[in-house]
Amino acid sequence: MRLFNYLEGIDVIKSDIRQYDAEISGVTAQSGRVTNNCIFVCIKGSKTNGNELAYEAMTKGASFLVVEEINDSVISSGLPYIMVENSRKALAKMCAKHAGNPERELKLIGVTGTNGKTSTCRILKEIYNCASISAESLGTLDGGLTTPDSEDFFPLIRSMFDRGKKVVVMEVSSHALALDKLYGVKFEGGIFTNLTPEHLDFHKDMQDYCDAKAKLFANTKWGLYNADDGYSKFVCRQSNGIDYTYSVNSNSDFKAINCNYYGIDGIEYDLAVRKRKIKIRSSLSGVFNVYNTMAAASAAYLDGIDVQFIERGIRSVKNVSGRLEKVELGDIPFSVFIDYAHTPDALENVLKCVCSFRKKGQKLTVLFGCGGDRDRSKRSVMGNIASKYADYVIVTSDNSRTENACDIIDEIMKGIDKSLPHTVIEDRKQAIEYAIENAEEDEIILLCGKGHEDYEIGKYGKRYFSEKEIAANAVCKRFKTQ
């Protein structure tokens, strides 16, 4: 593809390029991905300035630079440059062009919010598939970033389109929106689940966090908002489409009524919409899954999916990986669940859910930690929540990254009620083994924070870490030695 093709729709402020018909091999903002005859986009990040990598890009074969400013590094590279106002936006548009603009061929549904994105996406995907509309979901469960970078996102959805997918239901993170990773992408619809304190290491405050989420709805044909969340009225302010709401407790376009909770056996309710009721029955537990199933059902209804497929699709989802997932450990006298809860709101919701179905006198143990190099303000809050709902609390590590795990634990412990049963075991593997070795008859053990993740990130990088395997080995060891 020629250079002028990549520049379609991009406002060029200044350029010293004379040959716009040059053949281009690709576009990247990562020096490690530079190839011969590619465009290198200089991104100014929080830690590095892409301009400083211009010379390196030249030595690796880059032909052109995209920059926001011209400095000595750019000049010394000797590469022709294109100056733009926002290089992140330019990168997104160029990556889309390089992939053949697959976003224009697919129906994209974006789901944003602090909690519930993964489950909502999974459920909505299954509804589409039940209606014989080939759909795929994209997000946390795929093992990478919640929302991939532009260089990965567009080739990924191109491959989905090439495999015959018609719909992509995707998690859209506040980071991706704030950093314009999806700039120029038009969504069929957007769903807002909720907003609670999270990522405040990246966003300066909750309003900034909210404003980032709101950017999604400036590019959707319709928006669907959780009316029970106070931030909905702010998130919808950037909307350029038709707005709809869903709720349990508020006046809304879609409302869950006659809710019944059956513990680990699931939920049931009527979804009231336009003077009719859709019967929702799900194997997923807890009030938060009322919201997740309702968001998915409402979105499908807005997209014209027949009610029978909505009901069938929701029933088909028996569990979502790492979301209050029971670990199959054979015939043992206690139970172990894993959950991805890593925010105060998510931790409280899952603990409330377990408390709602445990039997009188049934012991509940929660094991959790907090991530390093992330929002520190939530640590003591989560400690307080754990003490409030669990009978026994085990505080441990959870992706400590470059921080000292003991320092993170100390901050969690500020919120722990020291008068209630608790222990600290820094090593997460040992903590899980301790919980299982000491589990009482009929006890519920809830492992929070990692959920679907099969790795742990420490100061030496990422290593394999499967809570399911650790739990299984601990059960085997305990009952073989008895």
What angle, rounded to 10 degrees, do the helices at 150-162 and 87-98 form? 20
Q: What is the CA radius of gyration of the chain?
A: 24
Whether residue 421 contacts residue 456, with contact meaning beta carbons closer than 8 Å, is answered with no
* pLDDT score recorded for residue 19: 85
Whether residue 42 contacts residue 68, with contact meaning beta carbons closer than 8 Å, is answered with yes
What CATH number did the domain enclosing 364 receive?
3.90.190.20
What CATH number did the domain enclosing 133 receive?
3.40.1190.10
pLDDT digits (tens, 9 = 90+) for 103-160: 999 999 999 999 999 999 999 999 999 999 999 999 988 767 789 999 999 999 999 9
Kindly state whether residues 297 and 235 are assigned to the same domain.
Answer: yes
Kindly state whether residues 90 and 25 are assigned to the same domain.
Answer: yes
Kindly state whether residues 390 and 460 are assigned to the same domain.
Answer: yes
pLDDT digits (tens, 9 = 90+) for 70-102: 999 999 999 999 999 999 999 999 999 999 999
Q: In Å, what is the CA distance from 46 to each residue of 93, 179, 202, 308?
A: 22, 11, 10, 49
Tokens describing residue 175: 């980071």
At 101, give phi and psi (nearest 5°).
Answer: 50, 55
* pLDDT score recorded for residue 45: 84
Domain boundary, last residue among 283, 299, 316? 316
Is the pLDDT confidence value at 482 over 70? no
Kindly state whether residues 339 and 385 are assigned to the same domain.
Answer: yes
Domain boundary, last residue among 98, 131, 157? 98
* pLDDT score recorded for residue 287: 95
Domain boundary, last residue among 55, 73, 98? 98
pLDDT digits (tens, 9 = 90+) for 381-432: 999 999 999 999 999 999 999 999 999 999 999 999 999 999 999 999 999 9
Kindly state whether residues 137 and 77 are assigned to the same domain.
Answer: no
Kindly state whether residues 189 and 306 are assigned to the same domain.
Answer: yes
The count of domains in the chain is 3
Kindly state whether residues 13 and 136 are assigned to the same domain.
Answer: no
Domain that holds residue 370: 325-480
Return the percentage of the chain with pLDDT > 90, whole number: 92
Kindly state whether residues 111 and 44 are assigned to the same domain.
Answer: no
Kindly state whether residues 441 and 350 are assigned to the same domain.
Answer: yes
Kindly state whether residues 299 and 343 are assigned to the same domain.
Answer: no
What CATH number did the domain enclosing 87 receive?
3.40.1390.10
Is the pLDDT confidence value at 304 over 60? yes
CA dihedral for 318, 322, 328, 332, sign (positive or negative): negative
Kindly state whether residues 167 and 262 are assigned to the same domain.
Answer: yes
Average pLDDT over residues 191-219: 91
* pLDDT score recorded for residue 204: 81
Cβ neighbors of 281 (< 8 A, separation 6 or more) are 266, 267, 268, 311, 314, 315
Kindly state whether residues 445 and 378 are assigned to the same domain.
Answer: yes
pLDDT digits (tens, 9 = 90+) for 432-479: 999 999 999 999 999 999 999 999 999 989 999 999 999 999 999 999
